[in-house]
């Protein structure tokens, strides 16, 4: 429910935006309320001495005139209020839709980041690399596997960087220490996939690796916990004024999803 302060602020804003129109309405209102009756009254007085212009103006006519005037005014006010209410309702509905799209896109960013940093994604990359090495003609299996792993792991690391940058840009309201903690996890995942690549290419034993699968599992669990906490506590609310300004600047283009489309570029 709108508070008294918000109502006063809305009224002041409405007056500020429509001050010229209100002045014109006020002038016509004064003319209708006072000018017309005076003119009719003058015509009645003039008609008493001039047979060409005779009027019949009494109290009943006066009340009828003002009754009609009040009825017309009430109709105008009701129509104006209905138009404004419909406009505000449409604006709120659109804002809710934009905000829902904004939140859903934020959730997708989180999901993509978790997926790209998961053990499952690493296993898929290794499987794809082995399959490519078997299907490739020419060269030994070991050489093809090494080349495929180097390329696919490099792409995976780049995808981690891109996903995290997109996450960092979207969740701009987060504190720097929260971003730093998540970035530390991503750096760990990038180092771990390189370690796995090297252990396969150079046939290193588990004892030669700096990070164990347990380390990766614990870091991944910590990463998921932090992301889920952010999802639960983050303020997924678009700035209404910023959204209106953005929509105004794009009036001639197809309606967009506000800040969501900017992030998709």
pLDDT at 36: 65
pLDDT at 156: 94
Residue 139 lies in a domain: yes
Q: Which residues of the chain have pLDDT under 70?
A: 1-15, 17-18, 21-22, 32-63, 204-208, 239-265
pLDDT at 82: 85
Residue 178 lies in a domain: yes
Residue 166 lies in a domain: yes
Residue 77 lies in a domain: yes
Answer yes or no: do 131 and 216 share one domain.
yes
pLDDT at 153: 94
Answer yes or no: do 136 and 34 share one domain.
no
pLDDT at 62: 65
Domain boundary among 94, 125, 145: 94
Q: What is the 3-state secondary structure (H, E, C) of the chain?
A: CCCHHHHHHHHHHHHHHCHHHHHHHHHHHHHHHHHHHHHHHHHHHHHHHCCCCCCCCCHHHHHHHHHHHHHHHHHHHHHHHHHHHHHHHHHHHHHHHHHHHHHHHHHHHHHHHHHHCCHHHHHHHHHHHHHHHHHCCCCCHHHHHHHHHHHHHHHHHHHHHHHHHHHHHHCCCCCHHHHHHHHHHHHHHHHHHHHHHHHHHCCCCHHHCCCCHHHHHHHHHHHHHHHHHHHHHCCCCCCHHHHHHHHHHCCCCCCCCCHHHHHHC
Answer yes or no: do 217 and 121 share one domain.
yes
pLDDT at 105: 92
Answer yes or no: do 82 and 138 share one domain.
no
Residue 100 lies in a domain: no
Which two structure tokens, joined as six digits, stand for 71?
């009825």
Answer yes or no: do 185 and 227 share one domain.
yes
Which residues form the domain of 220?
Answer: 117-234
Residues in the chain: 265
pLDDT at 55: 55
The total of structural domains in the chain comes to 2
Answer yes or no: do 84 and 25 share one domain.
yes
Answer yes or no: do 139 and 230 share one domain.
yes
pTM of the model: 0.62
Residue 253 lies in a domain: no
Residue 246 lies in a domain: no
pLDDT at 139: 77
pLDDT at 200: 86
Residue 262 lies in a domain: no
Answer yes or no: do 58 and 150 share one domain.
no
pLDDT at 22: 65
Answer yes or no: do 164 and 208 share one domain.
yes
Answer yes or no: do 128 and 198 share one domain.
yes
> What is the tens place of the pLDDT at every residue in 66-76?
778 778 877 88
pLDDT at 43: 64
Answer yes or no: do 48 and 155 share one domain.
no
Answer yes or no: do 170 and 207 share one domain.
yes
């Amino acid at each position: 429910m709108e508070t008294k302060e918000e109502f006063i602020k809305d009224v002041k804003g409405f007056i500020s935006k429509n001050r010229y129109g209100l002045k014109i309405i006020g002038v016509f209102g004064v003319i209708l309320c006072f000018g017309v009756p005076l003119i009719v009254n003058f015509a009645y007085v003039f008609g008493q001495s001039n047979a060409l212009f005779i009027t019949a103006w009494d109290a009943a006519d006066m009340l009828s005139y003002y009754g009609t005037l009040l009825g017309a005014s009430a109709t105008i006010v009701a129509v104006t209020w209905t138009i404004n209410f419909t406009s505000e309702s449409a604006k709120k509905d659109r804002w809710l839709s934009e905000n829902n799209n904004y939140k859903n896109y934020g959730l997708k960013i989180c999901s993509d980041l978790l997926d790209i940093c998961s053990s499952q994604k690493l296993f898929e990359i290794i499987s794809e690399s082995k399959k490519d090495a078997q299907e490739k003609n020419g060269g030994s299996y070991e050489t093809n596997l090494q080349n495929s792993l180097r390329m696919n792991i490099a792409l995976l690391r780049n995808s981690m960087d891109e996903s995290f940058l997109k996450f960092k840009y979207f969740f701009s309201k987060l504190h720097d220490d929260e971003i730093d903690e998540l970035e530390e996890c991503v750096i760990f995942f990038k180092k771990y996939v390189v370690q796995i690549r090297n252990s396969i290419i150079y046939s290193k034993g588990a004892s030669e690796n700096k990070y164990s699968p347990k380390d990766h599992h614990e870091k991944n669990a910590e990463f998921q916990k932090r992301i889920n906490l952010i999802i639960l506590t983050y303020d997924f609310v678009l700035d209404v004024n910023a959204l209106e300004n953005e929509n105004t600047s794009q009036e001639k283009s197809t309606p967009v999803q506000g800040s969501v489309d900017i992030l998709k570029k």
